[in-house]
Amino acid sequence: MKEIFVDIRRCVGCKSCELACRVEHSRSKNLFAALYENPLPRRRVFVEYGDGKKVPLQCRHCCEAPCVDACMSGAMKWDSETNLVVHDREICVGCWMCVMVCPFGVIGREQDSRVAIKCDRCYERDEPACVEACPTGALLF
C-alpha cells in the first residue's frame, strides 16, 4: 500500500496542498469556480506550525484506527480492498467521536451538514492532489 510521506525539511508552509485538496473535493474541480460554491469545499490536509517547522498533516489511515472503533454509526470503516479508512457521510450522525479520538487531529467537521470529513487519499486518482500540488516535493507518495 502506498503512503503519503512528509519531508518537513522541504515544507515551506505555502499551503498549496491545502488549496489543491479543497479544489479536488469541490463540485467544480476548478479553483475559480470553487471560490463561489456554497458551501465552500473543505480541506482535508492541514499545514500546522510548531517549533519553527511547518508540517502538512492528513489522515494516516491507521491499521488499527481509533476513529473506526469510536464510530457508533459505522460511518468510519476500514476498507480491506484499498487499505484506507473510509467515511460514509450518508450514515454519519455527527457525534464527532472520531474527531475526539484521532491522534493526529485531522478529522474535520462540517457544521452545516453535521458530518465528519477526512482525507480519502484521493483514491480515484493515481496520485493525491496534495502531493501533486506540492512545489517543493515535501509530500511524497
What is the per-residue pLDDT across 104-138, written as a single tens digit (0 to 9) for each? 999 999 878 889 999 999 989 999 999 999 999 99
Which ranges of the chain does DSSP label H, i.e. alpha helix?
Answer: 16-24, 31-34, 66-70, 97-101, 129-133
C-alpha cell at 74: 459505522
Please report, in angstroms and rounded to a whole number, the separation of the first and last CA atoms in the chain.
10
44-80 residue pLDDT tens: 999 999 888 999 999 999 999 999 999 999 999 999 9
Which ranges of 13-128 does DSSP label H, i.e. alpha helix?
Answer: 16-24, 31-34, 66-70, 97-101
Q: What is d(CA 29, CA 16) in angstroms, rounded to the nearest whole number?
A: 15
Confidence of residue 1 (pLDDT cuts 50, 70, 90): confident
